[in-house]
């Protein structure tokens, strides 16, 4: 399953799947999955802007091994499609920048989850 992250004219970061924009109304789960690519795109955007480089030809693709039987993702690849004019000397630097994305870090070291209702006694 691929989610494509695009930069629109106003600099907004927009996730797409199958050519359609993903919205919360369509699928909160797909938005959740897209956050790794969207977070990476934020870091790519900052990297490029700090160096005065255009985002016009930049695309971020989040490729996932998705198991439809378990509804789980086994692996996520973040593919950054950079323009030919991108300086090769920055290749490792942009990868290191993206590696700092907190969404990626949270997925790699998942927090614990608890479900609590108002009927549960909550300890402070």
Q: Per-residue pLDDT tens for 7-19?
A: 877 878 889 999 8
Tens digit of each residue's pLDDT (9 = 90 or more) over 66-108: 898 998 899 999 999 999 999 999 999 999 999 999 998 888 8
Angstrom distances, CA of residue 109 to CA of 45, 51, 106, 119: 25, 31, 5, 30
In order of start, what are the domains of the chain with their CATH numbers?
Answer: 2-108 (3.30.300.20)
Output the pTM of the full model. Answer: 0.82
């Amino acid at each position: 399953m691929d989610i494509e992250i695009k930069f629109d004219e106003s600099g907004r970061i927009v996730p797409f799947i199958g050519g359609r924009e993903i919205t919360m109304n369509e699928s909160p789960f797909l938005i959740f999955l897209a956050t790794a690519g969207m977070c990476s795109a934020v870091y790519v955007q900052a990297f490029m802007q700090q160096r005065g480089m255009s985002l016009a030809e930049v695309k971020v693709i989040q490729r996932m091994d998705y198991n439809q039987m378990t509804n789980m993702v086994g692996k996520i690849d973040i593919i950054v499609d950079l323009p030919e004019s991108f300086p090769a000397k920055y290749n490792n630097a942009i990868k290191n920048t993206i590696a700092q994305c907190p969404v990626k870090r949270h997925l790699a070291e998942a927090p614990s989850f608890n479900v609590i209702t108002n009927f549960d006694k909550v300890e402070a």
